[in-house]
Amino acid sequence: MKGARSFATSWPVAEKLCEASMEQPSPPGGPFSATSASFQDAVRTLNSLQTNASYLAEVKRRRGDLQTQLETMKLYLARSGLQVEDLDQLNIIHVTGTKGKGSTCAFTERILRNYGLKTGFFSSPHLVQVRERIRINGQPISPEHFTKHFWRLYHRLEETKDSSSCVSMPAYFRFLTLMAFHVFLQEKVDLAVVEVGIGGAYDCTNIIRKPVVCGVSSLGIDHTSLLGDTMEKIAWQKGGIFKHGVPAFTVPQPDGPLAVLRERAEQISCPLYLCPPLEALEEGEPPLTLGLEGEHQRANAALALQLARCWLQRKDHQGIGELKASRPSLLCQLPLAPVFQPTSHMRHGLRDTEWPGRTQTLRRGPLTWYLDGAHTSSSVQACVRWFRQALHRRPKSGPEVPEVRVLLFNSTGDRDPAPLLKLLRPCQFDYAVFCPNLTEVSSTDNADQQNFMVTLDQVLLRCLEHQQHWSRLDEEAASPDLWSTPGPEAGGPASLLLAPRLPHAHGTSSLVFSCISHALQWISQGRDPDLQTPSSPRDLLAHPVASSGASVLREAAAVHVLVTGSLHLVGGVLKLLDPSLSQ
């Protein structure tokens, strides 16, 4: 975009929004020493590597050369001082899927930690700090630990680069995958739960050759430019993590994708099982309590129980749950996984699981924040069910007491926001708020929140498109003159309110803000006792919608805010709602 303003933004925005990018140069001053460099130095240097967005763009250009990507990853692993055989020591549980794979991993890790095992957990993306991606016993590695391992790996790769190679460093996600393997090996974990990044067959985590067990969570449509535009094509990619003789489990899927998974498993003699529903394990037992809210989490929990039990069984552990009599499966495509009585360790593990940003509720005075990083049609459907059920269960206010519902939404990458926004309409929001995945308009104090690869204009244009989609869903069309560009006093890069729409009789009033901080200031109206944001810009109430809406929000007995559409948006909101996550 000609004349576009460059600015510092969170790297996840660059990862998902930037459609074409170039590798950034090394930071000024050359490499830092491992002893003197800070955690922020390490993250800045990590951000100087290719982002996931540029890696994806590269893969799109070289679709016929995907197998080479895995071979390249093996070479990076060797340059780092490891061989693929070394990863066998990690006793890995490898999990893929479109939705629910992170929650499944979190359930699985928590169950096995309850057995007294030392766990490693590699996941993506992170919400607030990059070190969240690499966990030991459920806790992100410390800044000191991250810094030490980062520079050790970075310098090792620098020392072993080939002069004939034009790329000395792996891309962002590859680097973190390598780093996770090194951390887990040095920590001597009993097992590692590894979440696939994108797809499965050609994901860089798939250099794992001998996992103990594999899992496939619910499948859906996402990352179509990489994985294919049908559920069957996506299932083929996900089934790429299956290994010869290694048990694998999946949840109920549509017939077509399930058939593809079965064929992929049969081709390499991988025993694949269908998880029975959680109700079958609960029969005759007290109901299971899940630490993660939402009916859809029951399928993730069912998969996690099978993965954990299989791992314990293959590693000759005792106390894995007594088998129960089960009815034959009506789905004849796959054999049914065992129906067993969950142990107390399993029950407590499911109950104690925490996985921020997924069906998470924070109650703050009159405000209740509902946080879910749903970003596909099927996951947004599940999010809507969870949100509406949560509202239905809440204590009822009297008819004379006003309550307000607010949507805070963003969608990134090549996803079509229109179907996602349409699915959110039944929630009957009073206000729809759109903003980029930027904590502040300009963030220079935290390397975890910095990248210089997108422009303010690009991300705001995306938000305006979301607002336009929302207006088309309203019963009344927006007046064309309401889309005029704000004047200089309200449209600068530090503006709070960029493009309000006037309210109308039946539609939702919608607003676009330039960053998450400004959006939260307007939504909360100073009524969230824990929310600390900079002083409000002078144009806080520059438009009638913002002014009248502020009065409504201040007077409401309860304000229910659903934050969804992007895990990165949820992460930015959490960063402001819970500053301890940044420490």
- What CATH number should be reported for the domain holding residue 67? 3.40.1190.10
Q: Which of 353, 470, 369 is nearest to 421 (CA)?
A: 470
Q: Which amino acid is at 453?
A: M
The answer on 365 and 247 residing in a single domain is: no
Q: Provide the CATH number for the domain around residue 389.
A: 3.90.190.20
pLDDT at 43: 94
Strand-pairing partners, residue 433, are 408, 511
The answer on 469 and 563 residing in a single domain is: yes
Of 328, 352, 376, the residue at which a domain comes to its end is 352
Provide the pairing of β-strand 360-364 with 367-371. antiparallel
Q: Residue 495: pLDDT above 60?
A: no
Consult the annotation and say whether 285 binds a ligand.
no
Strand-pairing partners, residue 371, are 360, 563
Q: Is residue 130 part of a domain?
A: yes
Q: Residue 390: pLDDT above 90?
A: yes
Per the listing, tokens 């805010």 go with: 561
Q: Using CA atoms, how far apart are residues 393 and 368, in angstroms rounded to an integer? A: 13
Helix (H) / strand (E) containing 176:
helix 172-187
Consult the annotation and say whether 372 binds a ligand.
yes
pLDDT digits (tens, 9 = 90+) for 93-149: 999 999 999 999 999 999 999 999 999 999 999 999 999 999 999 999 999 999 999
The answer on 389 and 273 residing in a single domain is: no
The answer on 220 and 179 residing in a single domain is: yes
Per the CB < 8 A criterion, the answer to whether 282 and 249 are in contact is no
Q: Which of 201, 266, 210 is nearest to 239 (CA)?
A: 201
Question: What percent of the chain is modeled with pLDDT above 70?
Answer: 77
469 vs 194, 209, 438, 520, 538, CA distance in Å? 37, 45, 21, 22, 29
Most confident among 15-19, 536-540, 560-564 (mean pLDDT):
560-564
Using alpha carbons only, give the angle 564, 567, 571 rounded to the nearest 5 degrees: 100
pLDDT digits (tens, 9 = 90+) for 296-347: 999 999 999 999 999 999 999 988 988 987 666 555 689 999 999 999 999 9
The answer on 282 and 168 residing in a single domain is: yes
- Is pLDDT larger for residue 166 or for residue 354? 354
Average pLDDT over residues 505-521: 85
pLDDT digits (tens, 9 = 90+) for 273-296: 999 999 999 999 999 999 999 999
- Is pLDDT larger for residue 267 or for residue 402? 267
pLDDT digits (tens, 9 = 90+) for 70-83: 999 999 999 999 99
Q: Tell me whether residue 414 is exposed, middle or buried, using C-beta atoms within 10 angstroms of its C-beta: 0 to 12, 13 to 18, 19 or more.
A: middle
Query: What is the pLDDT of the chain when averaged over all its residues?
Result: 84
Average pLDDT over residues 449-462: 71
The answer on 400 and 337 residing in a single domain is: no
pLDDT at 520: 96
The answer on 345 and 450 residing in a single domain is: no
Of 329, 352, 375, the residue at which a domain comes to its end is 352
The answer on 434 and 289 residing in a single domain is: no
Q: Using CA atoms, how far apart are residues 373 and 564, in angstroms rounded to an integer? A: 5
Consult the annotation and say whether 109 binds a ligand.
no
Average pLDDT over residues 474-497: 44
* DSSP at 119: E
The alpha-helical segments, DSSP class H, found in 365-437 are 377-393, 417-424
pLDDT at 29: 39
Q: Residue 379: pLDDT above 60?
A: yes
Q: Tell me whether residue 434 is exposed, middle or buried, using C-beta atoms within 10 angstroms of its C-beta: 0 to 12, 13 to 18, 19 or more.
A: buried
Q: Which domain holds residue 329?
A: 63-352
Helix (H, G, I), strand (E, B) or coil at 364: strand
Of 310, 336, 352, the residue at which a domain comes to its end is 352
Q: Residue 5: pLDDT above 50?
A: no
Q: Residue 491: pLDDT above 70?
A: no
pLDDT at 548: 87
- Is pLDDT larger for residue 34 or for residue 369? 369
The answer on 375 and 312 residing in a single domain is: no
Length reported for the chain: 583
User: Which pair of tokens denotes residue 385?
Assistant: 């069910």
Q: Is residue 142 part of a domain?
A: yes
Q: Using CA atoms, how far apart are residues 133 and 341, in angstroms rounded to an integer? A: 32
pLDDT at 334: 93
Average pLDDT over residues 496-509: 52
Q: Is residue 56 part of a domain?
A: no
Q: Residue 503: pLDDT above 90?
A: no
- How confident is residue 372, by pLDDT bands cut at 50, 70 and 90? very high
- How confident is residue 209, by pLDDT bands cut at 50, 70 and 90? very high
User: Which pair of tokens denotes residue 551?
Assistant: 């009065």
Q: Is residue 40 part of a domain?
A: no
Q: Is residue 43 part of a domain?
A: no
pLDDT at 60: 55
pLDDT at 568: 93
Per the listing, tokens 């064929």 go with: 263
Q: Is residue 492 part of a domain?
A: no
Contacts of 122 (CB under 8 A, 6+ apart): 133, 134, 135, 176, 177, 180, 184, 192, 193, 194, 195, 205
Q: Residue 15: pLDDT above 50?
A: no
Q: Residue 556: pLDDT above 60?
A: yes
pLDDT at 49: 87
* DSSP at 216: E
Q: Distance between alpha carbon 93 and the CA centroid of its chain, in Å?
A: 19
- Say how many domains are in the chain: 2
Q: Is residue 484 part of a domain?
A: no
Q: Is residue 46 part of a domain?
A: no
Going along 292-402, which residue ranges are E strands? Answer: 360-364, 367-371
Lowest mean pLDDT among 31-45, 115-129, 469-483: 469-483
pLDDT at 28: 36
pLDDT at 483: 41
Average pLDDT over residues 188-201: 96
- How confident is residue 54, by pLDDT bands cut at 50, 70 and 90? low
The answer on 529 and 396 residing in a single domain is: yes
Strand-pairing partners, residue 510, are 432
pLDDT at 100: 93
Consult the annotation and say whether 580 binds a ligand.
no
Using alpha carbons only, give the angle 116, 117, 122 rounded to the nearest 5 degrees: 135
Dihedral through CA 278, CA 282, CA 287, CA 292, nearest 10?
Answer: -20
pLDDT at 333: 80
Consult the annotation and say whether 358 binds a ligand.
yes
Question: What percent of the chain is modeled with pLDDT above 90?
Answer: 66
Lowest mean pLDDT among 28-37, 111-120, 173-182, 408-417: 28-37
The answer on 336 and 370 residing in a single domain is: no
Q: Residue 355: pLDDT above 50?
A: yes
Q: Tell me whether residue 529 is exposed, middle or buried, using C-beta atoms within 10 angstroms of its C-beta: 0 to 12, 13 to 18, 19 or more.
A: exposed
The answer on 404 and 309 residing in a single domain is: no
